[in-house]
Each structure stands twice: as structure tokens, then as C-alpha cells.
Amino acid sequence: MSAKKRGIWVFGDYRNYFQNRVTLQLLSRAQELAKKIDGEVCAVVFGHDVDEYVGEYIAHGAEKIYLTKHPDLKHYSMEIYTFLMERLARRENPEIILIGATAFGREFAPRVAKRLGTGLTADCIGLDINEEGLLVQMAPSFGGNLVAEIVTPERRPQMATVRPGTFQEIPHNYVRTGEVVRTPMPEGTPAERVRLIRSERFPQRGGKLEDAKVVVCGGRGMGSKKKFAKLFELAELLNGEVGATRPVVYAGLAGHDSLVGQAGKQIRPQILFSFGISGAIQHTAACHDARFIIAVNKNPNASMMKQADVAIVADASQICTTLIQELKRRIRS
């Protein structure tokens, strides 16, 4: 009788290793899930000079590494990676595949899921195992006002993507050992049809919003572009940065750089001012690490107000103006 453990795979997304910790965060969560289904935590690594990452993934909890090394894999390659992942999954039949929702992962995961004919839940904010042993994928739903618990009842593997910062990585332990299963580049691997002409490191935009001690976030409730602009004045007085919600960014009141949310920046300020924001999950999931939240909204029942330490029931723009006046007075005196 086969005593093969059920594989919980994490895709090794090692590009930007020091900034991008999502693989390590998923390995941490995978270990929790493995306890509930007698699973085996595995990382899948495709690349060329990748031994360093193999070691790191084992140190962070991978029991097994599926490794394919080849000079052609020096750069991330969507079609070849998809081909390799499909073959490997068909050979090993993992129970679960978790992929970090990086730009690459968010394109790679749906393609792998399609090839394998299985389901995929995007941007999970939680993962668990239910009493039937199914992976429960918690995802924002219905415009972010609700969380949906989604399962893939029959098809395998069960697949999910998770945004960076959703789970905590566990500290490394270099004493740990793991098995490395090497698979050579298969014969007949199709050539990549999308040609990479140039790839340059994107100028880092400072990560100011992510590291700010004070963030002033504005949503649709600020009213107009003119009123939204007042948030910049307030932020300056507070030595802070301005963040925005998606509707505001779409309306062109703020740049995409200031988007706080699953599709934008994760913030962890000491103090978060939230003006006229209802609190869709895609937004709140990116600011749950804020230590102290002051929310202003006309609607006392808005989700953001419930999560705030101080909930101010008032017009966001008026409070912003009054705060600016009061701060100026106090700073001057």
C-alpha cells in the first residue's frame, strides 16, 4: 500500500528574492495545512543558478524540492514554466498548489490551472483545511464587501494564489534537511513564443508609502478632486504619505502608485487616517497591520469604521479641513 503523503506545493518565485518573500510566507502556511491532511510541503524551483534558493526553501520548511535546472531557464519564461509545471503535476499528483500573487504568479497560475483542468482562486486572504480535508480558499468577493469560502471539491490539484504579505514567514533553520528531486529539462520542451527583448530593473520608487509612519488614505467619500487634494496638505503636516482606494485611482484623483490594496501597496503605519473609505476587503487586507486607525465616514456602519480605533461620524472633507487648521495652530504654537 502506498503511504505517499499528499503534496502541498509552493511555487518557488525567487525573482527579487530579498523584497519578495511570498514563497517563504506560503511555505509557512503550507506547514500548517500539512499538519491537517498529513501532507508534505514541497517547493517547485525552475531556473539556472538557483541552488541558493533551494537551500533557503528547505531552511524555511520545505521537505522536498522539485528542481529543474537549465540555462534556458535563466529568465522567467511563462510558456516553458507552464509546460514544466503541468508535466510535473501530472507525474506527481499534488493535492494543493500555492502560488504567490506576484505579477508573474498571477499570470502563471491561471495558465497552469487551465492546463490541468482544475479550479483556481485568486488573491486568497486565508487558507484552511475543512473537516472533509478540502482546501478552503477565502477570497474577497462581491466587490470586496464579503469574503467567499471557495473549494475545489473534485478536481485536483486545488490551486490558489495569495498576495505577498498575507501570511507570516517563519524564521529559517539551516539545520533542516530536505530531499531534492531533480528533473531534467524534458525532450520536446516547446520554445517560448514570447520573446524577451529587454528587461531592466524598474527604478525603485522609494517604497515611501509602505514605510511611512503616518498614512492618510482617501476614498470616494472625499467628494472631489479638489477636496482630495487637501489630503496632501494634511499628510505633509503629519510627515506622512497619501494613499488612495481603487475607485479614487480609477477616477484619476490619485496615481496608481498611491493605491493601497491587494492590487497596490501593503502599508503598516503607526497611525492610519482613513477618509471616506467604506472598507472593501481588497483595501482593508492591505492595511490590517496599521497600529492605530482613525476613520472618518458619514456612514457609521461602514466596514472601515468598525475596524477603526477611533470612528468619526462626519463628512470626511470637513474633518480633513478642520484637522489641517488645528494642526497648523498646534505646530505653530
Partner 1 sequence: MLKMVVCMKQVPMASELPWDAATGTLLRNLAEGMINPACRSALEAALRIKAAEGGEITAITMGPPMAEEVLHEAIALGADRGVLLTDRKMAGADTGVTSYTLARAIEKVCPEFDLILCGFATIDSETAQVGPQLTEELAIPGVAYVDEIEVCGRTIRMQRRSDNFLETLEMDLPGLITVTTGVHAPHHVPLGGLQAAFDKADILSLAAEELGLDPERIGVKGSATRILNVYSPTAAKKNLVLTGAPKRIVEQLFERFDDKLGGAIGKDLKTGKRS
Residues 100-159 that bind partner 1 (CB under 8 A): 102-104, 106-107, 109-111, 113-115, 117-123, 130, 136-137, 140-143, 145-155
Q: Which is nearer to partner 1, 183 or 321 (CB)?
A: 321
Q: Which is nearer to partner 1, 41 or 136 (CB)?
A: 136
If binding is defined by CB under 8 A, does position 188 make contact with partner 1?
A: no
| Contact map string, positions 294 to 313, toward partner 1, x by CB under 8 A | x-----x--x-xxxxxxxxx
Q: Which three cell numbers stand for residue 137?
A: 480558499
If binding is defined by CB under 8 A, does position 60 make contact with partner 1?
A: no
If binding is defined by CB under 8 A, does position 55 make contact with partner 1?
A: no
Report, in Å, the least distance between residue 318 CB and partner 1.
Answer: 5
CA distances from 10 to 14, 23, 65 (A): 11, 7, 10
If binding is defined by CB under 8 A, does position 189 make contact with partner 1?
A: no
Nearest Cα to 140, choosing from 291, 288, 320?
A: 288
Report, in Å, the least distance between residue 226 CB and partner 1.
Answer: 18
Residues 3-42 touching partner 1, rule: CB under 8 A, are: 15-16, 19-20
Report, in Å, the least distance between residue 173 CB and partner 1.
Answer: 27
If binding is defined by CB under 8 A, does position 52 make contact with partner 1?
A: no
Cα 274 from chain centroid (whole Å): 21
Contact stretch for partner 1 (CB under 8 A) within 4-12, 56-64, 167-175, 324-332: 324-332
If binding is defined by CB under 8 A, does position 163 make contact with partner 1?
A: no
Nearest Cα to 209, choosing from 235, 191, 233, 184?
A: 235
Nearest Cα to 7, choosing from 53, 45, 52, 38?
A: 38
Complete DSSP assignment for 162-194 = E-TTSSPPPPP-TT---EEEE-PPPTTPPPPSS
Instruction: Work out whether strand 120-124 and strand 96-100 pair parallel, antiparallel, or are unpaired.
Output: unpaired
CA distances from 307 to 145, 175, 284, 290, 299 (A): 13, 41, 9, 11, 13
- 13 in Cβ contact with 43 (< 8 Å): no
Report, in Å, the least distance between residue 197 CB and partner 1.
Answer: 4
Report, in Å, the least distance between residue 179 CB and partner 1.
Answer: 29
CA dist., res. 132 & res. 324, Å (int): 55
Q: Which three cell numbers stand for residue 58?
A: 528547505
If binding is defined by CB under 8 A, does position 162 make contact with partner 1?
A: no
For partner 1, the binding residue among 71, 171, 177, 204 (CB under 8 A) is 204
- 243 in Cβ contact with 260 (< 8 Å): yes
Complete DSSP assignment for 63-112 = SEEEEEE-GGGSS--HHHHHHHHHHHHHHH--SEEEEE-SHHHHHHHHHH
Q: Which is nearer to partner 1, 71 or 252 (CB)?
A: 252
Q: Which is nearer to partner 1, 32 or 236 (CB)?
A: 236
Q: Which is nearer to partner 1, 63 or 315 (CB)?
A: 315
Residues 209-268 touching partner 1, rule: CB under 8 A, are: 213-214, 220, 237-240, 246-247, 250, 256, 262-263
